[in-house]
Chains A and B, each alone.
Chain A
Amino acid sequence: MREMDEELEKSLADLKPREPSLDLEASIAAELRSVEEGGTRSRIGKIVTFIALAAAACIALVVMLDGGKAEDSAEEFIAVKEAVESEFAGPRLLTDEIVSGFEPIERITEVLAAERSPVFYLENGEPAQSVYVKYLDTIVMGNEKLDASFIIAQPREEYRVVPVASY
């Protein structure tokens, strides 16, 4: 029985399996290449997403702190016109923080909307108005080493209390 098995095994082993087509090798090569490239792209995508999220978090923090200051500084009574002008002059915007090697290389602020409330009176009897201003802050972040840049655009809202007389 053992000899018969060996003989049969030898006969079977003599059969040579058919080779696959040459196209198959090329198709596999192409697919593996695209998988490899896809993986690299995906990694870059994750890094960019991470940087963008980190930047967004910084922006949100700055906006929150800024908004709080604006509300708390009612007694300063800054005129909205001055405020708008100061925004256009390009001072404290979004963030000056460096995000993973990226630095702000250009900033633009647009006023999207402005509204005044009816006149009301403060505790000291002084007439005042609250002014709502909506901005769009845009920063171009760049990294010279990587020769790369990305844009952050973030709407920002401000509510300020201003004296009626100065407006």
Chain B
Amino acid sequence: MAEDNWLDLYRKTSSRLLLFARQYVSGLQDAEDVLQEAFVKFWKNREEGLDEERQVARLYGCVRWVALDWLRRNGRRVKREDAASNDASLREGDTLFECPVDEEERVKAMQDALLQLPEAQREVVALKVWSGLTFDAIGEALDISPNTAASRYRYALAALRTNMNLCSYARNG
């Protein structure tokens, strides 16, 4: 495939891939390293003839594997599983999303609520909401069944509502 093709794919997906990588590796620089490694691996080993949705699902799957491998190499897997929300927390001032000044509070509240979800739910939400993947594609990316993906998503939405109410309550006293 020509160089333009990887660039097209990269530009179309990079911000969402980065967000997905940051569900595992919270630091921006580390997540970019993961993304680079995953994208190059994916592109080197890509399978021709797959439809775009499956290609993209595999790309997300590749990001996930590289991120988990990165955590394992850095000895942070256990800690992350023990306290997923704490480990996923961001440094002060760092955000997962673009953050216009007038939206700062809302963005922060939603981000905090998202980061409190267990990893298994966060990754489904990231793939469904921001990447627009179907549950079939999410299942392929995460190596789970589409039904499991759908139920995790439902649980995640319910938990997000609760988390956002709690955050809102905490902020407003």
Contact = CB atoms under 8 A, between A and B. Distances in A.
A24 interface: yes
A28 B40 contact: yes
A17 B44 contact: no
Nearest to A13: B129
Interface string A126-155: 000000000000000000000000000000
A16 B97 contact: yes
Contact of A5 (B16, B97, B110, B157): B157
Interface of A is mostly: helix
Interface of B is mostly: helix
A105 interface: no
Nearest to B98: A16
Interface of A: 4-5, 8-9, 11-13, 15-21, 24-25, 27-29, 31-32, 35
Interface of B: 3, 6-7, 10-11, 14-16, 18-19, 28, 32, 35-36, 39-40, 43-44, 95-98, 107, 110-111, 114, 125, 129-130, 157, 160-161, 164
11 contacts: A8-B161, A12-B110, A16-B15, A17-B18, A18-B19, A20-B35, A24-B35, A24-B36, A25-B10, A28-B36, A29-B7
